[in-house]
Structures are given as C-alpha cells and as structure tokens.
Structure 1
Amino acid sequence: MDLGILETGAPPADLKNRFGSYGDMFRQMLGPDYRYAYYDVRGGHLPEQADRHDAYLITGSASGVYDGDAWIEPLKQFIQQSSGRTPMVGICFGHQVMAEAYGGRVAKSPKGWGVGLHSYEIKRRADWMNSDAGLQLSIPVSHQDQIIELPVDAKVLAASEFTPYAVLEYPERRAISFQGHPEFSPEYATALIDLRRGTRYQQEFADAAASSLQKPNDAHRVAGWIRNFLGAHPPTQG
C-alpha cells in the first residue's frame, strides 16, 4: 500500500536531528508494510490528485487551522477532494484541519495546554479497533487547540473532560483522526517538554507532564488500529 504522509510541521531542529521528522516517526510506528512518500505541505507540496496514493496521513503542526497560513486552504481543499475516495488519518493538527474541512470548527481552548500523557474513555468501538479497545486509551498529547464544533457526520469514539472529541471517525468519508500523538515516543515527548520549560510551560506544569509520560501508554494499540483501518480500505488498483 502506498501511504502519502502530509507533513504540516516538523520537530524543533535539534530534536529533529535526534528523533527524525514527523514522517519518520510515523514510518517507525506503522512499520515496513507500506511504501511511504512525504509531502512538505507548508512548502506548497500536495499530491497532484487525490488518488495519487492509496491512503494519506496528516501530521501535527505548530500552526493553528485558523492562522490563515497560505498552505492551509489548499490542504482543506485536498481533504475535501479525497473525502469518500481515499482513506485518510489525521493526527493533532491533522485531526483538527480534517474537522474544519468537513464542516466543523476549531479554536484555541480556554482550558490551556494539553501536555504529557492523557487518558480518554472509549465511547464506542469501530470495527478496526478490534476487541482490544478496552475502556480507556492513554497516549501522549501536545496541543492548545481543540475541535469545538463537530462536523455533522463525525462519530466520537473516545473522549475526556479535557478533550471531548479525542478520537473521531467519518465512516462515509473513509476517514479517522486522533487529537493525541501516538507517534511521539515518551523520550521525544519529554524532550519537547524540556525544550519549552520556562517559556510555554511553567516548571511545575512541565514536571507533572513529564512525569505522566513514565506511565504505560497505548501508542502500540493505536498503531494497530491505524493499520487495521488502512487494511480495511485496500487499494482499488494494482
């Protein structure tokens, strides 16, 4: 399966040297069963056609979907063109920009930063989640923005008090999305927190977030879910 990774952001330079790009993180998470192609969306690069690849994954970004950056509107148009045709997975910013492209709304949350390991209650099971869905999902997060209005066809699969729309499915659009970062290793998420200490995060907040990342997380389960979802939508050609 050809998987196009739409990179809408990148780790800070020194962390990228240590941990790789966001595309690299997803490649490591999802494994060798895919042929990967990366697109620098911020640089104006998108696939020429929605069916150029068998599926797409949209990464996280430091930008907000409401920022008005020149590359965001073309990305929304590409998401709309792909809807129902090419399977799509969104992560963090990808989760948010998909919701906006499908008719929802995103804003900077008055709840502030979500950082560290967050846990969500599983509200409903999609077929690709298998019977291992359990009652809770815990994965690293790093976000201020949140979806505040759902697209009318969105199905909420997991939620918390802090993030009521944590995992979404759009069955007719062949799309799923996650507010959290299953691709972030605890080491990378901790290094990112340390980089932001004293600037974006107060020390006590940073300490608590970093400490939470020492607990077991479900990134491996989410990787399996994404693989299951992609496997349920095999290529139509080739």
Structure 2
Amino acid sequence: MKLTIIQTGDVPAPLRPQFGAYPPMFKRMFDEAGQAFEYETVPIYDGAGFPDPGKLEGVLITGSAVGVYEDHAWLDPLRAFIRTAYAANTPMLGICFGHQIMADALGGDVRKSEKGWGLGRHTYQVKARPGFLATDLPALSIACSHQDQVITPPVEAEVFLGSEFTPNAGLAYKNGKALSLQPHPEFLDDYTLALAELRRGKAPDELVDKALASVATPSHSKDVAGWLGAFLSR
C-alpha cells in the first residue's frame, strides 16, 4: 500500500539538524510497529500541488506550527482535499494539526485553547472503542505538543480518546475510513524532550519542567502506531 504524506509543516529549525523532518518519523514509526508501506510525500506547505484524493490508497496529514484559523494559501485547498477524500472513502489519518484541520474541514470548531500548552507525555482515557482500537486498556499515554484544540468535533466524528486537558483528542469518523489524533505517536522521547525544552520562554518554566518529567511515564505509542497502520491498510 502506498501512503501519501500530506506534509503541512516541518520540524522547528533549531531541532532539524538532529531530528530531521516529519515524514521519516512516520516511516520509522510504522516500520517499528511492523506496518510496511510505500511512501510519497507532498509538501503542500512549501507549494507542492495536491494529488487527486480519490486516486490515493491512503493519506496521512502531518503536524504543523500553523493554526487552521490563519491565512495561508494552501489551507482552503487542503480543506477541499479532505472533504473529497472523505466523500471518496479514501483511508485518511490526521495527526495534531492534521487532526485539527480534518475536524475544521468536516464541520468542527478548532481554536487556540485557553488552557495553554500541552507538552510532554499526556494520558488520554479511552472514551469509545472503534474496531481498529485493539486493546482493553482504559487509557493510553502518548507524546503531545500543541496549543490549539478541537473544541467541538464534527457531527460525523465519535470521540474515542480524551482527557481533562484535551477532551477531543481522538476522533473516529462515521465513514469508517477517517481517523485523527491530537497527540504524536511518531515522536520518540528524545524529540519530545527537545521540543518541550524549545518551548521554554513561550510556555511557563513550571509547565516545561512538568513536561520533561512526564516522559518517564511509559508510552503506548508503538501499540498505537500498529493500530493506526492496520486501520489505514485494512
């Protein structure tokens, strides 16, 4: 199966020499979870044209520093791409910004949260158990880095992961082919730590310190990656 990565942003410049770009993070994530794909990357944030979503085997929309409420020339075409992919039942996964823009495009409400930064490893309660979620665990711990949140999910979406800080952290859509997560299962711990430290000065020191300590919480990201890969390829 070929997975088309719709790249909507890049690793922050100070961290790029050490950690590279987002698309290889997803390839490593799926490889380590035993989910083998062919890949193509479409850097729409850098001016690349959109492919026809109805002709794609699977789509992954990455994270970005951009907000869905900002003014960028590629945002409306991305919304149209998402709606067309959804109507065509193209398997589609959104992560962080990808989660937010999918919700925005399909009728939800996304804003900068009054709660501030979510950093480090957060734990999300399992609110529903769509078929891809092959676990009876009551909660999953995954890395995150965001200020924006899905405030109101689309009517087409069911919330399957949530926390007090991020109530709408995981959405499964009624067509059975679209799925999105606010947290980042593709982040390794060293990148999670570096990204949290990079926010020092923007986020309060106390919050950054808490985020750094939170990485001691065992991660469920490898399991999540396996479930996500199986969802895309089924």
Query: How far off its partner does 1:207 sit?
Result: 1.0
Q: Which residue of 2 aligns with 1:161?
A: 164
Q: Match for 2:115 among 111, 116, 120?
A: 111
User: Structure 1: which 5+ residue stretches go unaligned?
Assistant: 233-238
- How far, CA to CA, are the matches of 2:56 and 2:49 in structure 1? 11
- How far, CA to CA, are the matches of 1:148 and 1:204 in structure 2? 25
Q: Match for 1:177 among 176, 180, 183?
A: 180
Matched-pair identity in %: 45
Q: Which residue of 2 aligns with 1:127?
A: 131
- How far, CA to CA, are the matches of 2:22 and 2:62 in structure 1? 7
AA in 2 matched with 1:181:
H
Q: Which residue of 1 aligns with 2:3?
A: 3
1:94 matches 2:94: no
Query: How far off its partner does 1:173 sit?
Result: 5.8
TM-score using structure 2 length: 0.94
Deviations 1:7-62 (A, max 9, x none): 11111123222112111100100116111011111123243311342000001000
Distance 1:46 1:87, change over 3 A: farther
Deviations 1:82-119 (A, max 9, x none): 11421100000000000011011101111111111111
CA contact (8 A) 2:42 2:50 kept: yes
SS in 2 for 1:120: strand
- How far, CA to CA, are the matches of 1:164 and 1:196 in structure 2? 23
- How far, CA to CA, are the matches of 2:159 and 2:129 in structure 1? 10
AA in 2 matched with 1:41:
I
User: Structure 2: which 5+ residue stretches go unaligned?
Assistant: none
Q: Which residue of 2 aligns with 1:228?
A: 230
SS in 2 for 1:116: strand
Deviations 1:200-233 (A, max 9, x none): 122222111011012211101110111120122x
Please identify runs of 4+ aligned residues in structure 1 that moved more than 3 A.
Answer: none
SS in 2 for 1:127: coil
CA contact (8 A) 2:111 2:151 kept: yes
1:12 matches 2:12: yes
- How far, CA to CA, are the matches of 1:106 and 1:58 in structure 2? 16
SS in 1 for 2:110: strand
SS in 2 for 1:156: strand
- How far, CA to CA, are the matches of 2:110 and 2:204 in structure 1? 25
